[in-house]
Structure 1
Amino acid sequence: MTSCYYDNAEDLYPVIPDCDTTNVTFGNDIMPIINTNCTGCHSGSAPSANIRLSNYSEIVASANNGGLMGSIKHESGWSPMPKNGNKLGDCTIKKLDTWIAEGTPNN
C-alpha cells in the first residue's frame, strides 16, 4: 500500500510580514505599544519605580533619557522590561527606535 504526501511551502514556511516603519506615528503605533506593554505598571498615582508612561510628554521624557529603549532592549544598566516578561518583538522595538530617531513627533 502506498500513499501520496504533498508539502505545501506556504503551510510549512509561512511568510513573516515585513516590519513597516515608513510611517510610524505616536497615536497609531507608539501609544498602543506603551498601553499594551507598560501602562499596567507605569501609570496612575503610584507608578512602578516612579516612572509614569501615561501620556506623550512622559513617554518622551523616558525616551530622551535613554530609559525607555534601554529597558525595552534589555541593555546592561537598565531594568529589563516588561518586568518578568518576554522582551518585546523585534518589529515593536524597531518602531520605537524609528519614532525616537525621527525626533519623537507627537503625531
Structure 2
Amino acid sequence: MRKPLSILFLFFISLFSACYYDKAELVYPAAANCDTANVKFSSTLLPILNASCNSCHGGNAAAGAGIILDTYNGVKASVNGGRFMNSILQNGQASAMPKGGGKLSTCDISKFQAWINAGMLNN
C-alpha cells in the first residue's frame, strides 16, 4: 500500500513544481514597452542625453573629462572610444554615469545599444 501512495505523492509533487512560463510583459513591463525599432539620434537619444548627461557633458559645461555629448560627433567619438556604453552600463569598465545620479533605465540603455547596432546614424 505504501508504494502506490508514494508514487501518487511524487506525481502530485512533480505536477505542482513543474516549469511554468511567465508573460514577459507582465513580469517586466518596462522592457516589453520599450520601442527600440525606430531609434533616432536627434529625437530619441538627444533628449535622454540632455536630461541625464549634458549638464556635465554639454555646451559650456563640457568639462566632464572632455567628453562632449550634446553633438552627434561627440557622442559617436565617445561610443567609438568604448567609454560610453561601459559608463551607462555601469559595468566597472569605465566611470559609472551619470555621476551622482541613478543608472539610466534598461529601456534607455537598450535604445543606445540599438542605435549603435544600427550603425550610429546621424538622424
User: Do Structure 1 and Structure 2 share a fold, with TM-score over 0.5?
Assistant: yes
Residue in structure 2 matched with residue 91 of structure 1 by the alignment: 107
Deviation at 1:88, TM superposition (A): 0.5
Question: 29, 32, 50: which one pairs with 1:16?
Answer: 29
- Amino acid in structure 2 at the alignment position of 1:52: I
Q: Is 2:98 aligned against 1:82? A: yes
3-state DSSP of counterpart to 2:114: helix
| Residue in structure 2 matched with residue 3 of structure 1 by the alignment | none
CA–CA distance in structure 2, aligned partners of residues 43 and 22 of structure 1 = 27
Aligned to 1:36: 51
More helix, by proportion: 2
> What's the offset of the Cα at 1:73?
0.3
Structure 1 unaligned regions, length at least 5 = 1-12
Residue type of the alignment partner of 1:49? A
Equivalence map 1:49-64=2 (5 Å)? 49-64=65-80
List gaps (5 residues or longer) in structure 2.
1-25
Higher relative CO (CA 8 A, sep ≥ 6), structure 1 or 2?
1
TM-score (ref. length: structure 2): 0.70
Identity of counterpart residues, as a percentage? 43
TM-score, normalised on structure 1?
A: 0.80
Question: For this pair of structures, how many residues does the alignment match?
Answer: 94
Moved over 6 A (4+): none
Cα deviation 1:32-76 (Å, max 9, x = unaligned): 111111110012345211211120000100111111111000022
